[in-house]
Structure 1
Amino acid sequence: MIDLARDAHSGLPDKRQVAASFSRAAASYDSVAALQRAVGSQLLQRLPATVSPQRWLDLGSGTGYFSRALAERFPEGQGIALDIAEGMLQHARPLGGAEQFIAGDAEHLPLQAESCGLIFSSLALQWCDSFDSVLAEAQRVLRPGGTFAFSSLCVGTLRELRDSWRAVDGFVHVNRFRHFDDYQGLCAASGLTVLSLDTQPEVLHYPDLRSLTHELKALGAHNLNSGRPSGLTGRARMRALVQAYERERQVLGLPATYQVVYGVLQKGIRP
C-alpha cells in the first residue's frame, strides 16, 4: 500500500518551476503532444511479453494518457498515477485509468518498498536532477522480478534551436539534458538488470519558429534552466534567431530533433 508519510517533493526550486509549468500546461498539453504519444506507445511495445503486474505505477503520468493505456493493457492490475504537477493530476483524475492519483517526486517516491510490479515512465525523467536517485527508488519500489520501463531525452535534443540561439547570444535558452553515456553508466550501476537501453532520434518539422516555440510553451516544456534570460526577448534578437534557424530549413520545414532514450530494466528475483 501507499505510505503517504514519505516526503513527496524534494523542495528544490527547479522542481517547483517544473511542477508549476506543467500544471499551467495541463489543459493545452494533449493538443500538441503527438511526439509524447508516439514515444510512449513505442515504450509500451518494448515491455516484455511476460509483464503482468498486480500493481503498476505511471511515473510522471501527466494528463493520464498512458495511465489509461496501461489500465487497458493490464485490466487485472491496480494502477497508480503519480506526477509532480498537481494541475496535471487534477486534469487526469476525472478521466480515470488509475485507482490512485498522487502528487510525488520520482526521486523520492511516496510508495512502500516492493509495492509495484511495473514502473512505466515516458518523457518525464529528463526533468530529474539525480537519475541515480530515480533508479534507486525504482529498485526499492519494484517487486522482485518487476520491470522499470522509461523513455527520456538526452543531449542532442532541440539541437537546432540551441545552435541557433548560440549564434545570437550566450544565454541558456534551451533545456539541458544529460548525455546518453550517463544513462548507460547509471543504469549499469543501478543493481537492476538492463534488458535494453538505446537512443533514437525523432525529428519534427514546423512551418516557422513561432509554431515550435508555441508548442513548447503549450507542453510546459519551454526553458526551465537556471541561467535563462529574464524579461522579454528583444525584437532584434528574435529576428536574429529566426534568421539563424532558417539556415536549418529542410523541404518539410524547420526541423526540431528529439534524441529519445528508451530503457527497460528488471529487478532480480531473490534466490
Structure 2
Amino acid sequence: MDTLPRQHRIRQSFDNAAQYDTAATMQQVAARQLFAQICTKLGTKAPARILEIGCGTGFLTQLLHERWPQATLIATDIAPHMLKRAAQRVGEAVQYAVLDAASPDIEGPFDLICGNLVFQWLEQPKAVLARLAGLLAPGGVLALSNLLEGTFAEWQTACAPHESGVPYYPSQQVLADCVPPLCSGKWQAQTAVQPFASAHAFLRHLKQTGAAVPRAGYSPLPIAALRHVMQRFDANGHYVSWQFAYGCFQRPVRAGVFVTGTDTGVGKTFVSACLVKAWNALYWKPLQSGLAEEEGDTATVAQLAGCAPTDITPPAGAFQAPLSPEAAAQAEGQCINVQQLELPSKEPMRPLVVEGAGGLMVPVAEQVMMIDLAVAWGLPVVLVARSGLGTLNHTLLSVEALKQRGVALMGVILNGPPNPGNKQAIEHKGGVRILAEIAHQLYVTPDAVQAVAGTLPKWEETWWQG
C-alpha cells in the first residue's frame, strides 16, 4: 500500500496525466454543463474577478476566458504540470497559481468562484464551501460540479465481493445538505454513460485522466482476482455510468434576512421588530394588506422597535382588505407588479429585515407565491413557527419547500411556551438551527421587544465576518 498522504498522491497522479486532454471526454462534458449553469445564474452580469479551483488542463478555463475576456481570471490547481497544460490551451492572459482547494490561501472578493470535478477530492467539503463562500463578493456565485454515489457502479458490481477502490462519492441526499452557509442555490443531478472497448481500456482511462487514486485504505486486488473482475466487466457490456451533480450558489446581494412564517398570525411582525431591535436593522414590509382593520405592520414595527423614519422603507403595495396580497389587490382593481418589488439598496452592509405576508405559499400575483419572492431576493430566511401542537407538520413542510427551491435557511424561531420535544424534532428532522425560543408575551410593547431582542443571536453570530 502506498504510504504517501492521499492529497500528495492525487497531486502526483494528475501531474503525471500527460494524456489527460485526449482521454477526459466526460470531464469536458461536465465543464460545458457547469459553464452553461454559470451563465444562466449570472444572466447579464459580467464578473470582474473569477477564481477557478482545480482547473486541470483548462477545459472550463477556456470557456470562462472566451465568455468574459476582460475579467481577471485566476486559474488554480494543486498540480503544477496541469497548470502548464492549461496555459498552453488558454494562453497567458489568464493568471495561473498552484493552490490547494482544501485550504485556499488567496484574497477575495470574487464575483465568481468555480471548479469542475474537483469537489469530490476534498476531505472536508462543508468546511471548504464555507471558506470559498467567504471569498465571494455580495451577489457572487459559487459553482461546482461533483461526482455522486453510483459513479462507476458497473465496475463496482464486477468487483464484488471485493472492494473496488472507487472513492466514496456522496449520495444525492448527503450532498443536498452540503451547501455554503447563507447562500441560495442547490445541487442538481444528471447521469451520463460512457462505453469502453474493454475493462483494460477503462482502467487505462482512469490512469490517463489522473483519477486512478483509490479510496483511502484500499489494497489492490491480486492479479488473478483482477483478471476475473475484468472478465465480468467485459461480459456485462464494458461501459460505466457517471453520476454528476452541479451546484450553483449565490451569496446575498446585501446583508439581511427574509422573515416568513408557517402560517398567518404566527408572530412574524413581533419577531421582525425584535430582530430590528437586536441588530439595529432596517425594515421593509413589501406587501401589506388588511389596513382597513389595523394600522399595518410597518407602523407597528417602527413603534415597537423605536425605528427612525429613515430606517423604514414603505411598502411597495398597501391594500385595505384582510386577504392575500393578490386577492387584496384585485379587490381594489389593482394588479401587483412583481418586477417592481426590488430589495432596497441603501446601506447594503447594514442588516435589512424583510417581512413577508402570511406563509410561503401565499399568492402574490398570477403564478407568483411568497416563496418566489424569497427565491428572487436571495436573502436567507428566518422561519417563525409556533412552539406547540401541530407545529411539526407546518414547520417541516416549510423547511422542505425552502430546500426544494434552494433558499438558504438561517434558522427557525419558535414562538410560544417552550416545548423541548418539538424543538428537538425540528432541529433533527429538518436539519435546521433553532435561532431562539420566544415565550408568550402577555403584552406586546416596546419593553417586551427590548427584552426579547437581548436574547437573540447577535448579527455577527449569524452572518459572515468581515
The answer, yes or no, to whether TM exceeds 0.5 is yes
2:104 corresponding residue in structure 1? 109
1:61 alignment partner, SS class? coil
Q: Read off the aligned partner of 2:103 and give its amino acid letter.
A: H
The C-alpha deviation readout for 1:115-153, integer Å capped at 9, x for no partner, is x10012111111001111221122111111001111110
Confirm or deny: 8 A CA contact 1:160 1:256 kept in the other structure.
Answer: yes
1:6 corresponding residue in structure 2? none
What is the deviation of 1:35? Answer: 0.7
2:248 corresponding residue in structure 1? 264
Provide the rounded CA distance (Å) in 2 between the counterparts of 1:228 and 1:98: 41
Q: Read off the aligned partner of 1:156 and give its amino acid letter.
A: G
1:203 alignment partner, SS class? strand
Structure 1 gaps, min length 5: 1-11
Query: What's the Cα RMSD here?
Result: 1.8
1:200 corresponding residue in structure 2? 190
2:181 corresponding residue in structure 1? 190
1:155 alignment partner, SS class? coil
1:100 corresponding residue in structure 2? 95
2:72 corresponding residue in structure 1? 78
Counting aligned pairs with the same residue, the percent is 29
Q: Read off the aligned partner of 1:222 and give its amino acid letter.
A: A
Is the alpha carbon distance of 1:17 and 1:246 closer, same or farther for their aligned partners in structure 2, counting shifts above 3 Å? same
Provide the rounded CA distance (Å) in 2 between the counterparts of 1:190 and 1:97: 34
Confirm or deny: 8 A CA contact 1:51 1:147 kept in the other structure.
Answer: no
Structure 2 gaps, min length 5: 255-347, 349-466
Provide the rounded CA distance (Å) in 2 between the counterparts of 1:31 and 1:149: 25
The C-alpha deviation readout for 1:199-234, integer Å capped at 9, x for no partner, is 11111011211111111110010133222225x741
Q: How does 1:5-154 map to 2 (within 5 A)?
A: 13-25=5-17, 27-47=18-38, 48=41, 49-95=43-89, 96=91, 99-114=94-109, 116-154=110-148
The C-alpha deviation readout for 1:170-202, integer Å capped at 9, x for no partner, is x34222212222221121x622111x4211111
2:227 corresponding residue in structure 1? 239
Decide which structure has the larger Cα Rg and report it: 2
Is the alpha carbon distance of 1:98 and 1:21 closer, same or farther for their aligned partners in structure 2, counting shifts above 3 Å? farther
1:123 alignment partner, SS class? coil
Which has the bigger relative contact order, CA under 8 A and spacing at least 6?
1
1:149 alignment partner, SS class? strand
Q: Read off the aligned partner of 1:177 and give its amino acid letter.
A: Y
1:9 corresponding residue in structure 2? none
1:41 alignment partner, SS class? helix
TM-score using structure 1 length: 0.86
Provide the rounded CA distance (Å) in 1 between the counterparts of 2:44 and 2:114: 15
Q: Read off the aligned partner of 2:14 and give its amino acid letter.
A: F
Runs of 4+ that moved beyond 4 A = none
How many residue pairs match? The answer is 248
Provide the rounded CA distance (Å) in 1 between the counterparts of 2:246 and 2:14: 22
Confirm or deny: 8 A CA contact 1:172 1:229 kept in the other structure.
Answer: no
Provide the rounded CA distance (Å) in 2 between the counterparts of 1:68 and 1:97: 11
Provide the rounded CA distance (Å) in 1 between the counterparts of 2:246 and 2:171: 13
1:164 corresponding residue in structure 2? 158
1:4 corresponding residue in structure 2? none
Provide the rounded CA distance (Å) in 2 between the counterparts of 1:233 and 1:217: 18
